[in-house]
Amino acid sequence: MNIRLAELRDIKQLIKMRWDNTIEFDEGKKDENYEEFEKECQTFLENAINSKQWFIWVAEDNEKIVSHIYIELIHKVPRPGRVTHPFLYMTNVYTIPEYRNGGIGSKVLSSINHWIKVNKFEFAIVWPSEEAINYYKKNGYVHCTEPMEYIPS
């Protein structure tokens, strides 16, 4: 198993995984237009991989991506009297069904946790589903109170 950052050559697999992840948890989306989604996702992933704002971690087995975690770097506004470090927003965590429950997701998360420490990011946040809370807890994450949000109507 190879754990690494995604590259442009991975885009087709990442698009398919994003589609499969959505369909798996929301079957009502299976009638959506794959070609439209593919075009939009292709543009997003090209920009993300070429940026210094997104980091897409993947686990691959014989050149097949079997798990991924997307991370967006969030820069904070500097504050007098203290060094400001960016924090991370983690999203789109997914392992294909036939590779689940074998510790692959935890290995990817462990690599990310090490990377967070080495790069001195202030913290990482993730909004897990109810089913995923224990996965994060066993990997060193603390369940905190929900943030506040504003949804324009």
The backbone torsions φ and ψ at residue 67, rounded to the nearest 5 degrees and listed phi first, read: -155, 150
Kindly state whether residue 91 falls inside one of the protein's structural domains: yes
Closest CA to 45 of 26, 17, 67: 17
d(C-alpha 29, C-alpha 27), whole Å = 5
97 neighbors 81 (Cβ within 8 angstroms): no
Tell me the pLDDT tens digit for each residue of 60-97.
Answer: 999 999 999 999 999 999 889 888 899 999 999 999 99
Provide the pLDDT confidence category of residue 153 given band limits of 50, 70 and 90. Answer: confident
Kindly state whether residue 47 falls inside one of the protein's structural domains: yes
Kindly state whether residue 147 falls inside one of the protein's structural domains: no
At residue 73, the pLDDT reads 96
Kindly state whether residue 149 falls inside one of the protein's structural domains: no
Question: Tokens for 95?
Answer: 């392992």
d(C-alpha 147, C-alpha 69), whole Å = 21
Kindly state whether residue 150 falls inside one of the protein's structural domains: no
The backbone torsions φ and ψ at residue 127, rounded to the nearest 5 degrees and listed phi first, read: -105, 95
At residue 3, the pLDDT reads 97
* Average predicted confidence (pLDDT) for the chain: 91
Kindly state whether residue 37 falls inside one of the protein's structural domains: yes
Output the DSSP codes for 56-94: EEEEEETTEEEEEEEEEEEPPPPBTTB----EEEEEEEE
Domain total of the chain: 1
Mean pLDDT of 104-124: 94
Residue 20's CATH number: 3.40.630.30
Mean pLDDT of 21-46: 87
Half-sphere exposure (Cβ direction) of 41: Cα atoms closer than 13 Å: 18
Percent of the chain with pLDDT over 70: 100
Q: Among 4-18, 45-59, 121-135, whose mean pLDDT is lowest?
A: 121-135
At residue 33, the pLDDT reads 85
The backbone torsions φ and ψ at residue 124, rounded to the nearest 5 degrees and listed phi first, read: -125, 140
**Over 90: is that where the pLDDT of 30 sits?**
no
Question: By residue range, what is the domain housing residue 75?
Answer: 2-138
Kindly state whether residue 120 falls inside one of the protein's structural domains: yes
d(C-alpha 133, C-alpha 147), whole Å = 16
Kindly state whether residue 109 falls inside one of the protein's structural domains: yes
At residue 32, the pLDDT reads 78
| pTM score of the predicted model | 0.89
